[in-house]
Amino acid sequence: MIYRTLLLLLCVCMALPVLAATSAETLQLKQFNALDAENLREVVPGVWSMRHINGEHTTAMVLHVAEGQGQTLPVKKNIHMEEAVYIIRGSVRFFAGDGTFTRVFREGDLFVLPKCIAHWGTFGYDNNEETIMLSVFSPVYEEYGPDDAVGPVNELLKKLKQARNTIDYCEGRTIE
């Protein structure tokens, strides 16, 4: 129950700039149930699903990695602006920088990753369990495109296939 409360709090915080700038008569909230797999889009069928919502200044994204699939998922390093992460279910072994920083995050853990830090993770780290993670990016993660875009699937598939991730929002650096 606590993770639903924290998830709600993060989503409300994301919507605050929209609420402040919009009258109650014209308010249109974007929403979906992050725990219902039917609301997510498959990136790798049977393995990895996700969905995102853009606010005026932020993007909220839910990532779902199926049970038994996380430890073999070939996720590459990535780098972007600030990201807040909440582990809804499961576990993630998180790596940052050159890989010397590592920490295991589990259900209920929340952390903020500063901008321009190379990072990656192993999902389902504890027991190769199902893992669901909420990430909130600021500013908007433009790589994902509009809310209804199929683009995130294509961009994430490119990341999985690349020998390195060259998508970098931090001074044009390339990460190995």
Residue with the bigger pLDDT between 30 and 114: it is 114
* Token pair belonging to 19: 């609420």
| CB distance 7 to 86 below 8 Å | yes
Distance in Å from the first CA to the final CA of the chain:
40
pTM summary value: 0.76
| 123: enclosing H helix or E strand | strand 119-123
How many CB atoms sit inside 10 A of residue 131's CB?
29
Q: How far is Cα 85 from Cα 106, in angstroms, rounded to an integer? A: 11
From edge to edge, which strands make up the β-sheet containing 119-123? Answer: 101-106, 91-96, 119-123
Per the prediction, the chain carries an average pLDDT of: 78
Using pLDDT thresholds of 50, 70 and 90, give the confidence band for residue 150. Answer: low
What pLDDT sits at residue 101? 93
Q: How far is Cα 94 from Cα 103, in angstroms, rounded to an integer? A: 5
Q: How far is Cα 61 from Cα 71, in angstroms, rounded to an integer? A: 21
Using pLDDT thresholds of 50, 70 and 90, give the confidence band for residue 119. Answer: very high
Strands 48-54 and 91-96: unpaired
DSSP state of 175: -
- Which one is the CATH code of 2-17+38-161: 2.60.120.10, 3.30.360.10, 2.60.40.10, 3.40.50.11060? 2.60.120.10
Q: Which residues touch 5 (CB under 8 Å, ≥6 apart)?
A: none
pLDDT tens, position by position, 39-90:
888 888 888 888 889 988 999 999 999 999 998 887 778 888 899 999 999 9
pLDDT tens, position by position, 152-175:
566 656 655 553 443 445 665 545
How many CB atoms sit inside 10 A of residue 47's CB?
17
Closest CA to 124 of 41, 40, 68, 43: 68
